[in-house]
């Protein structure tokens, strides 16, 4: 499973020789609606093997991977992880699948923790996070004076800066610039 910006070539080439059918899901494994994945799950029959390229390409978490394995095993369907040559039709395969699921979850958790720590460090160092402001402080001060000294509307003044009236109003509030009309 991949996000729309990612390429599937490596997975398609790797799976092409070992699968009867290929289905490409562009929805993230973390997202709720996964129409291709859901359709494939409905089509699987007892004795089938669900082949995936990599465990973290298909499942949201270790719990999700293990729950799905239980559901599929209950339907007499096994999972094969192609890039590892792993097959869950054996006890060893299930053990390694479980370990890999835990390691993938650990990797995701570490990445999340590092990202949060990096963002917090940036905030402590005074870095502004997120999209850059649409208007500079000088533009906001000029717009404020125009609004205070005339009967021009927020929308009219904002349009000259290429923003919406609500963006101008919000930016003025964020900067603590008050308008006296």
Residues tagged active-site: 2
CB distance 62 to 103 below 8 Å: no
CB distance 99 to 61 below 8 Å: no
Using the 8-state DSSP alphabet, how is residue 77 labeled? -
Q: Count CA within 13 A, CB hemisphere, residue 121.
A: 6
- How far apart CA 24 and CA 159 sit, in angstroms, is 44
- How far apart CA 4 and CA 39 sit, in angstroms, is 19
Chain center to CA of 123: 23
Using the 8-state DSSP alphabet, how is residue 124 labeled? H
As a residue count, the chain comes to: 181
């Amino acid at each position: 499973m991949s996000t729309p910006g990612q390429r599937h070539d490596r997975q398609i080439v790797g799976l092409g020789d070992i699968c009867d059918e290929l289905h490409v899901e562009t929805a993230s494994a973390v997202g709720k609606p996964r129409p291709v994945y859901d359709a494939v799950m409905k089509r699987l029959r007892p004795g089938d093997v669900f082949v995936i390229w990599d465990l973290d390409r298909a499942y949201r978490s270790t719990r999700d991977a293990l729950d799905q394995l239980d559901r599929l095993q209950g339907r007499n369907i096994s999972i094969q992880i192609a890039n590892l040559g792993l097959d869950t039709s054996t006890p060893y395969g299930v053990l390694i699948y479980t370990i890999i699921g835990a390691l993938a979850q650990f990797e995701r958790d570490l990445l999340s923790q590092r990202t949060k720590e990096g963002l917090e460090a940036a905030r402590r160092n005074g870095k502004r996070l997120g999209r850059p402001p649409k208007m500079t402080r000088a533009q906001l001060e000029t717009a404020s004076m125009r609004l205070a000294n005339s009967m021009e509307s927020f929308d009219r003044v904002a349009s000259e800066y290429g923003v919406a009236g609500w963006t101008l109003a919000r930016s003025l509030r964020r900067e603590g610039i008050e308008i006296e009309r």
